[in-house]
Amino acid sequence: MPLFMALLTLEFHLDGNDNLKAKRRVANSLKQKTRQKFNVAIAEAGSENSHSRLRLAVVSASNSEVHLRSRMEKCLEMMETICPEKLTDNRLEIYVPD
């Protein structure tokens, strides 16, 4: 049975944000809610020093591609709904390791 891995990358624009503390507050809230609801790994990826940009990477694995894709799409919908900031980019990649 194959193992599928998904990587969902999201980028938010933090309008009017002028310090890293406020950015961390938004990031930590999103990470906590996403972990609790979907049991996924999530981390800030690549925008650590920017005050106005937040990039998050969400990773999950499953033996069903349909289930995995559905979980990640629901994760994206929830994060877009609960985050007050503008979602500027997202990308879902599914991998099948050899």
- Residue 44 forms beta bridges with which residues? 56
Closest CA to 7 of 86, 97, 72: 72
Q: Which two tokens stand for residue 27?
A: 């990031």
Q: Which two tokens stand for residue 51?
A: 């005050």
Domain range annotation of the chain = 4-95
pTM of the model: 0.91
Check if the beta carbon of residue 34 is closer than 8 Å to that of residue 54. no
Give residue-wise pLDDT tens across range 49-67: 788 899 999 999 999 999 9
State phi, psi for 19 to the nearest 5 degrees: -150, 160
On whether the 4-95 domain is CATH 3.10.129.10, my answer is no
Give residue-wise pLDDT tens across range 9-59: 999 998 887 888 888 889 999 999 999 999 999 999 987 778 889 999 999
